[in-house]
Amino acid sequence: MEREILHVDVNNAFLSWLAVYKLKNGEDLDIRTIPAIIGGDEKQRHGVVLAKSNLAKQFGIKTGEPLYSARKKCPTIKIYESNFKVYRQYSNKLYELLLNYSYKVERFSIDECFVDMTEFLNGRKLIDIAYEISKRVKNELGFTVNIGVANNKLLAKMASDFQKPDRVHTLYEKEIPRKMWPLPVSELFMVGKRTFPKLYNMNIKTIKDLALADQTILEKKFGKFGKTMWEYANGIDNAEVVYTYQKPKCVGNSTTVSQDIKNIEKIEEVLLALTEHTTYRLRKLGLQCTVISVQLRTSEFKNYSHQRKLDFATNSTKEIYKVAKQLVNQLYNGEPIRLIGIRVDNLCDEEEKQISIFENNDTKKQEKLDKVVDSIKDKYGYETITRAADMKQSKNINRKD
DNA sequence: TCTGGGGTCCTAGGACCC
DNA sequence: TCTGGGGTCCTAGGACCC
């Protein structure tokens, strides 16, 4: 049976949401109407563009580029700090609005949703519902969206990326040759900056070229991904809208430090703070992990990683930090380090935990300590407590030094 | 004052077992 | 008595997305 799918994409999400928030809180200036961007703190080397207003876009400013280069393109540009609390709030509002139309809503990212309307049309046309949603979001929530209307997720997503902002586009099968095929192949979902030059060398420059290319040659060169790419170019996608909550498969935190680090003690300090945050989140999710990995990035942007599988599951800060510390010590070779990261994988539910022979009184004690620390963080905010006790003194990871 | 941070998925190669 | 083949698990790294 043919499916009826919408893809709802918030226009310039971070910037629009901050604009709406500011207006709601009494500010007169709508930052969507000036050259403005959302970005990090340059002094701490977190300086890239996360979102831009349409006027900023007109200066050629691109998401992901350094702030200094954005300023070069537009010296009067206004830069605002990111505020994830606000983003989450508006993201939830959008999600709740969409639930009025179908319970089959997939939160694809903080600013994108898929909606499976197949069973919920009630005799209406999909495109009419799309226009209604678009209007309601604008009137009730104060920001605009693009909506893609199609018979599968891939085509709905491609459609929502056509002309912006505040538009509804269809991309039905018969429209593929006219609307999608003329686009450069780099516009196709999943064709990134590494794949694009490889395709270009094969004389595949447009999505049409890819759609008409020899499938077996693509599979030979790109493996499984070659098949997927070819199918996408031909508008084929059988993926379901995943509307149920999915537990995360990994949790991690990383940070770019404000100055390159040249000694292991400093690395360990930052690593501890990151570990505390990651394990806190892991416990909040009611999960444990069996794989721990650490990542280092050098000042020359070389990445190294090390991981280890444990033969028991844990979410204890002390346990995980012990392993992470060993890993980072094995990894560190003296190069100046600009980024440190930790990640935990192979997650499983806390309740499913096997009582292992490693479980002893110390483990119980650690679990209790973690719980106390977590509850203080919940009550007074995350920054209020850092653990000392039997671990190295933790310092704020954002400390400027 | 070069290049964020949080994820998912895939692959290649080595170790080890039978 | 000079070299097999299949399978699984683990690690490192890379690609993509937002």
Q: How confident is the model at residue A385 (pLDDT cuts 50, 70, 90)?
A: low
In 3D space, the residue among A7, A6, A13, A8 whose CA is nearest the CA of residue A142 turns out to be: A13
Whether residues A197 and A310 share a domain: the answer is no
Residue A58 lies in a domain: yes
Q: What is the CATH number of the domain that holds A205?
A: 1.10.150.20
Does A110 map to a domain? no
Same domain, A295 and A380: yes
Å separating the CA of residue A303 from the C1' of nucleotide B8:
19
Whether A199 maps to a domain, the answer reads yes
| Cα–Cα nearest to A293, from A255, A335, A250, A332 | A250
Q: What are phi and psi of A368, to 5 degrees?
A: -65, -45
**Sequential DSSP letters for A84-96:** HHHHHHHHHHHHH
Same domain, A188 and A293: no
Residue A204 pLDDT exceeds 50: yes
What's the mean per-residue pLDDT of chain A? Answer: 92
Question: Same domain, yes or no, for A67 and A26?
Answer: yes
Query: Does the nearest atom of strand B lie within 7 Å of A66's Cβ?
Result: yes
- Whether residue A244 is contained in a domain is answered as no
Residue A56, domain CATH = 3.40.1170.60
Do residues A211 and A311 both lie within one domain?
Answer: no
Q: From the Cβ of A224, is strand B under 7 Å away?
A: yes
Instruction: Give first-to-last CA distance, chain A, whole Å.
Output: 61
> Where among A35, A62, A83 does a domain terminate?
A83
- Domain of A63 in residue numbering reads as 15-83
CB contact at 8 A, A97 and A135: no
Q: Which of these is catalytic: A106, A112, A268, A319?
A: A112
pTM of the model: 0.91
Query: pLDDT of A324-364, one tens digit each?
Result: 999 999 999 999 999 999 999 999 998 755 555 556 677 77
- Considering only CA atoms, which residue is closest to the C1' of nucleotide B3? A66
CATH code (residue A369): 3.30.1490.100
Instruction: Let me know if residue A62 belongs to a domain.
Output: yes
Residue A112 appears among annotated catalytic residues:
yes
Q: Does residue A258 share a domain with residue A201?
A: no
Residues 6+ apart with CB under 8 A from A338: A45, A256, A257, A260, A261, A297, A298, A299, A301
The CA–CA distances, whole Å, from A294 to A118, A253, A277, A314 equal: 44, 10, 14, 16
Residue A360 pLDDT: 66
* Number of folded domains that form chain A: 3
CA A119/CA A41 separation, integer angstroms = 47
